Chain A
């Protein structure tokens, strides 16, 4: 029988927080600002877009702690059990010297109105800890999720590049105290389930995945929360009553990454950031897409399982995963079933998931030798933007130069992420040539009837989808090159 604990425990800066009365939907930002009066962390949008609320969340990982930037505005306090939360107030005392990152920001004039500044400092702090002397691209990536309206960004980037000159991570308190903090966080892990509150307001943190299976089977109306990059907005923007909440973000069994010759299996709780390394190695064609999902904070929080389970018609990950033939494993109680990812998406907002059933893992088969694969994200703003459409292509061209196998999937073209079966049929068995491509283009209209909305017109979507097939053909036949960042 699982022990039940009625207290949520985590460490905030240098003090232990124990909460016995906390709303399941209390965001970390409101907790910091309203309950703890730590007003250094700002609210600019309450939906994970601007980064003014960036804080660090550290969790025990192996022998150390991995500190990652997160958007406090859409992170729930309920997800923090056993974590170390670090806010801007922890970087320097009112009477002591500024932190090196802060000093660099002052001297390089990286702060004007100051409202985005604490969030930017925290993003740069996370970067500086793991990479004291970053390149320009590293800085930009670390700051993808931080908007600024005053500075024009250049002074901030200069500050990031200069931070190492003001101090080294080896002397940083967070680094120096790491082993002590590991011990403190370990001491908080007692293997119990956490339950706080009553009825629909209940907050549940299962002790492990077996416990999750039990709890969810008994509470099929509950909402599962992993990274909360989507569910957070259900609360802060749509004011939906989504209780009770079951927090699964820190269940170790959902964090597994299996990298074998047959493929990569990712636990449903693996974040975009954690998946990035293995995916970049096994599927280098996905690397660019991965860097353009949300901003750094969203990638640190958001999970592959959540992206699949929520079934957005756009969803950044389903198109490449469908094209690669990924399979999703669902679990209810002790029952498991595995289906092709494309079959999981039934209609707009509707997935093949029974009450009480949850996504446990996704398996991405290795790309067989000789096959070619690419994925393209089209968005208006390069970073931190929702895909207008996302297209993924996988093909095997046999020795005779004809298409032996082809699999194409799109997001943003239909009510769900969807395969282009008619286009595939028009390609397979034919020569992989410009003529075949042109002849296959009309088939797009059989597969897709995209809508016009603010992001793009139906015509634009259709034209671009067709052009992406052309582009894939050009790239696979050596005529083209990758579209690189910047025009330089």
Chain B
């Protein structure tokens, strides 16, 4: 039984609201948790095959130029070394972008950035390969490199598809009762997933099998096949467990192609694990940005104009540009509007999607500007936002599929105690600390991506879900089991979930906050189809059918599945995006509140507490969803206060290419965080009535912190991250307000 459903019309109701199994939305523990805490969940670098050998990638030591020769003599002479694999044409220059189906840029004779992998040294043991990698002599003809983003910003070229304009923004700025026109800068960042990129490649005849640490297997498979000149059905990617991705593993990365080539050349399985340095230097990063935000408003606080223009960087011939204005375009009204991105070509590692590409840094600028505008107009920041919620999309004139932003703002303000905030900066002192509070709105677009799943109802009253969807820590295993359990009237323990293998039906993959809703819908649809069959078998209409405790019921008549299912029942369902994507603005919304302390003498910033109220349609599992939001808010702490990838503008190296000096927040940086979900259903999003939640927590979180820093000490810092050296020279007189 195969069915395809296209999301062309809003759905009237969802079965999940009628099945009454009390499984969906419940905060159940993640079902693979026991495996993970026992160290028995196996990741890509943890598969071992007879004859398997180890490869270590060798990266370029110049940022631009051409390889003139590779001398293998010293490396080959070392004990245990089997091969130095080079393939100038086929090796990937850089990883792929998410959802691309063609191979990423190939060809490594030309060097585009420092650390670009150019060869793979393969040896019997990992240590032998690592030693030999250090003994590979590569000669280069260096070329002049473009390394200084800020110095080169005037050479940025506009990205045509991003340019949008309406009305006369310059005029609106001139006529405004209050206006903001300022520039925010954010640094280069790295996803820093805990698991380094890794692939284990082996050939079975003419079929390549890769155990790869990837987020989106069905498109990754096409990228890999294209890179190697294979038909997609000759490539199988397996990723049962992925140690975090946050965007860095959306597309394939260099180690998979290198491992595949080496495995073919040596006729042995080859495992390649990137070092942490290679993850920083050669995979993906979030681009640094320069963002100009303009706001024009009347004395009543209503926006009359809004502009958000962004400069980012990328490698030659790469056109991804952090869409910083993504949510700015629909979050607030104002007739005159201008948005656009431009790109500086740099010899720095690929810029691509890191968690919440766009909003993660764009909201820092927009929500910082809104805070400044609120102050200029002497309007409460929460009220200013509520006053500017547009009834429909301000440019496309489309309705919102659902938007509980005003409710989130009100609820969050109340739960946080916003009313007690002193709006005057540098006016609340406790001991050696200035205390401040800030807020920001949260918004992140919602998407539906084509996704398929197969559900088999067995004769043993158990169900099996199979899809090449991944669980990168998000909770996919658990929510898919919950959906099936809810739909089929089975306990969660009776659902087996098999993910992360392209041998299964192709799914959306994990990215863009669309995974749960897309893959979840495919499971929902397949289960719905199974319900129809069961209804037929007990002579009920689908509406009359009640499934619970492994029984099918119609009125008082009931039959156990074991009687109804004598052969396994299989349904495969595919969901495709349809017209609701074009006819509605779809996004999840929320409100962030933060309280910080700024040390009166040193300028040290400590976050004291955070609160987030979110509305994202149906919450599929209250526990996994909450964790997604908390984790996102902690990304927000990093974005606001600690994370900055430092590029050396002379050598092209990344100075802090390790977890010691690329500062993720640690335990002690993270204060009490409260997360509340408001009840909401989105009928235009998908039949689950759910919206994506993986990136909502980060969107706006850093801005709330920055606004709180301003409220604490009266310093506006628009250059992220906010480190104490940017505050210390301008701290207010500590004796102005006594503790």
Asked if A and B are interacting partners, one says: yes
A residues at B contact (CB < 8 Å): 23, 25-26, 30, 33-34, 37, 39-47, 49-50, 52, 87-89, 91-92, 94, 98, 101-103, 105-107, 109-118, 121, 139-140, 143-144, 146-157, 237, 239, 380-386, 454-457, 460, 463, 467, 471, 480-481, 483-488
A372 → chain B closest CB, angstroms:
19
Q: Which of A49, A114, A383, A488 makes the CB contact (< 8 A) with B243?
A: A114
Q: Report B-chain residues with C-beta under 8 Å of the C-beta of A98.
A: 34, 37-38
**Number of B interface residues in the complex (CB < 8 A):** 86
Q: Which of B194, B642, B723 is in CB contact (< 8 Å) with A115?
A: B194
A34 near B602 with CB under 8 A, answer: no
Docked-complex contact A239 and B134, CB < 8 angstroms:
yes
Contact A111 B661 (CB under 8 A): no
Q: B297 an interface residue at 8 Å Cβ cutoff?
A: no
Instruction: Given A152-B673, A384-B660, check contact A106 B29 (CB 8 Å).
Output: yes
Interface-centre pick from A37, A103, A157, A239 (highest chain B CB count, 10 A): A239
Across the interface, name the chain A residue whose C-beta is closest to B671: A486
Tell which of B147-155, B484-492, B542-550, B627-635 binds the partner.
B627-635
- The reply to whether B40 and A94 form a contact with Cβ atoms under 8 Å apart is yes
Residues in B whose Cβ lies below 8 Å from that of A487:
430, 433, 435, 596-597, 599, 606, 608
CB distance from A36 to the nearest CB of B (A): 11
Q: With A45-B658, A385-B663 given, is the CB distance from A114 to B670 under 8 Å?
A: no
Across-interface contacts of B32 in A (CB, < 8 A): 114
Closest-by-CB residue of B relative to A148 is B194
| Shortest Cβ distance from B38 into A: residue | A92
Q: Does B692 contact A (CB under 8 A)?
A: no
Q: Is the CB of A454 within 8 A of B473?
A: no
B227-253 residues at the A interface, CB under 8 angstroms: 241-246
| Interface pair A147/B664, CB less than 8 Å apart | yes
CA distance A189 to B666 in the complex (A): 40
Among candidates A26, A139, A149, A153, residue contacting B246 with C-beta atoms closer than 8 Å? A149
Q: How far is the CA of A197 from the CA of B194 in the complex (A)?
A: 35
Q: A148-B194, A381-B642, A386-B661 are in contact. Are A115 and B38 (CB under 8 A)?
A: no
Is the pair A113, B663 in contact by a Cβ cutoff of 8 Å?
no
> What chain B residues lie within 8 Å of A239 (beta carbons)?
130-131, 133-134
Cβ contacts B591-632/A at 8 Å (1 or 0 each): 000001101011010101000000000000001100100110
Report whether A112 and B38 are in contact in the complex, using a CB–CB cutoff of 8 Å: no
Question: In the complex, what's the smallest C-beta–C-beta distance from A463 to chain B, in angstroms?
Answer: 7
Q: Tell me the complex Cα distance, A75–B601, Å.
A: 40
Contact across chains for B36 and A111 when beta carbons are under 8 A apart:
yes
Query: Is the beta-carbon distance between B39 and A26 smaller than 8 angstroms?
Result: no
Question: By CB atoms of chain A within 10 A, which of B32, B127, B431, B597 has the most?
Answer: B127
- A116 contacts B194, CB within 8 Å? yes
State the CA gap A101–B273 with chains docked (Å). Answer: 30
What residues of B have a CB within 8 angstroms of the CB of A382 in the complex?
Answer: 666, 668-669
Task: Establish whether residues A50 and B37, one from each chain, have CB atoms under 8 Å apart when the complex forms.
Answer: no
Q: Mark B505-548, 1 if CB is under 8 A from A, else 0.
A: 00000000000000000000000000000000000000000000
Residues in B neighbouring A30, C-beta threshold 8 A: 126-127
Chain B residue numbers with a CB within 8 Å of A454 are 646, 655-656, 661
B127 in contact with A105 (CB, 8 Å): no
Residues of chain B within 8 A of A102, CB atoms compared: 34, 37-38
Residue of B36, B245, B725 with highest tally of chain A CB at under 10 A: B36
Contact of A149 among B30, B127, B631 (CB under 8 A): B631
Provide the bound-state CA to CA distance between A103 and B661, in Å. 33
Among A94, A106, A114, A471, the one with the most B-chain Cβ atoms within 10 Å of its Cβ is: A114
Establish whether residues B725 and A457, one from each chain, have CB atoms under 8 Å apart when the complex forms: yes
Q: Chain A: interface secondary structure?
A: loop
6 A-B pairs with least C-beta separation: A40-B39, A487-B597, A113-B473, A115-B243, A114-B36, A112-B473
Q: Are B668 and A140 in contact (CB-based, < 8 A)?
A: yes
Q: C-beta contact mask, B3-45 vs A, less than 8 Å → 1, else 0? A: 0000000000000000000000000011011111111111101
Q: Is B61 an interface residue (CB 8 A)?
A: no
Chain B neighbourhood of A23, CB < 8 A: 127
* Least distance between B256 CB and chain A CB atoms (Å): 18
Which residue, B134, B246, B608, B627, has most C-beta atoms of chain A within 10 A?
B627
Residues of A within 8 A of B430 (CB): 487
Q: Report the minimal beta-carbon distance from B610 to chain A, rounded to whole angstroms.
A: 10
Smallest CB gap from B430: residue in A: A487
Closest to A97 in B: B34
Q: Which residue of A is nearest B674, CB measured?
A: A154
- Nearest chain A CB to B480's CB is how many angstroms away? 16
Contact check, B658 vs A117: say whether CB atoms are below 8 A apart: no
Contacts A87-B39, A89-B39, A112-B244 given; 9 further ones with Cβ under 8 A? Answer: A45-B659, A50-B659, A94-B40, A109-B627, A111-B30, A114-B35, A140-B667, A151-B630, A481-B431
A sample of 28 cross-chain residue pairs with beta-carbon separation below 8 angstroms, ordered by A number, consists of: A33-B46, A39-B39, A40-B39, A44-B195, A45-B658, A49-B659, A50-B194, A102-B37, A109-B33, A111-B37, A112-B473, A112-B627, A113-B195, A113-B473, A114-B35, A116-B243, A149-B244, A149-B631, A149-B664, A153-B670, A154-B673, A380-B642, A380-B663, A381-B663, A382-B668, A383-B667, A383-B669, A487-B596
Q: Mark B660-687, 1 if CB is under 8 A from A, else 0.
A: 1101111111111100000000000000
Alpha-carbon separation in the docked complex, A30 to B54 (Å)? 12
Q: Which of B273, B602, B627, B633 contacts A155 (CB 8 A)?
A: B627
| Most chain A CB within a 10 A radius of its CB, from B34, B275, B474 | B34
Q: Is the CB of B194 within 8 A of A147?
A: yes
CB distance from A237 to the nearest CB of B (A): 7
With A150-B473, A487-B608 in contact, do A41 and B39 touch (Cβ < 8 Å)? yes
* A151 to B675 alpha-carbon distance, docked (Å): 13
Q: Does B500 contact A (CB under 8 A)?
A: no
Q: Decide if A143 touches B667 in the complex (CB within 8 Å).
A: yes
CB proximity of A166 to chain B, nearest CB, Å: 12
Residues of chain A with a CB closer than 8 A to B633's CB: 152
User: What chain A residues lie within 8 Å of B665 (beta carbons)?
Assistant: 153
Considering the complex, give the chain B residue whose CB is closest to the CB of A106.
B33
Residues of B within 8 A of A39 (CB): 39, 42-43, 46
Residues of A within 8 A of B728 (CB): 460, 463
Cβ-based interface call for B193 (8 A): yes
Chain A residues near B663 (CB, 8 Å)? 380-381, 385
Residues of A within 8 A of B656 (CB): 454
- CB pair B659–A117 under 8 Å, yes or no, is no
Contact present for B243 and A485 (CB under 8 Å): no
Other-chain residue from B133, B241, B606, B669 in contact with A114 (beta carbon distance below 8 A): B241
Query: Is the Cβ of A483 less than 8 Å from the Cβ of B599?
Result: yes
Q: Is B392 an interface residue (CB 8 A)?
A: no
Q: Which residue of A lies closest to B597 (CB)?
A: A487
Q: In chain B between 191 and 206, which residues have their CB closer than 8 angstroms to a CB of chain A?
A: 191-196
- Give the Cβ gap from B659 to chain A, nearest Cβ, in Å: 4
Bound complex: CA A25 to CA B126 (Å): 12
Q: Does B194 contact A149, Cβ atoms closer than 8 Å?
A: yes
In the complex the two chains form, is B473's CB within 8 Å of A25's CB? no
A contact residues around B273 at 8 Å (CB): 43
Contacts of B596 in A (CB 8 A): 487
- How far is the CB of B672 from the nearest CB of chain A, in Å? 8
* A40 contacts B194, C-beta separation under 8 Å: no
Q: How far is the CA of A394 from the CA of B709 in the complex (A)?
A: 35
Asked whether B634 lies within 8 Å of A152 as measured between CB atoms, the reply is yes
Determine the residue in chain A with the shortest Cβ distance to B46. A39
Interface pair B631/A152, CB less than 8 Å apart: yes
Cβ A471 vs Cβ B193 within 8 A: no
**Which of A37, A147, A484 is in CB contact (< 8 Å) with B666?**
A147
- Complex contacts, A148 vs chain B, CB 8 Å: 194
Min CB distance B558 to A, Å, is: 34
CA gap between A47 and B127 in the complex, in Å? 15
Which of A41, A92, A121, A152 interacts with B670 by CB under 8 Å?
A: A152
Q: Contact between B125 and A34 (Cβ–Cβ < 8 Å)?
A: yes
The answer to whether B659 touches A467 (Cβ under 8 A) is no
Please name the residue on chain B nearest to A145 by beta carbon: B666
Distance of B625 from chain A, by nearest CB (Å): 11
A117's contact among B37, B196, B671, B723, by CB below 8 Å, is which?
Answer: B37
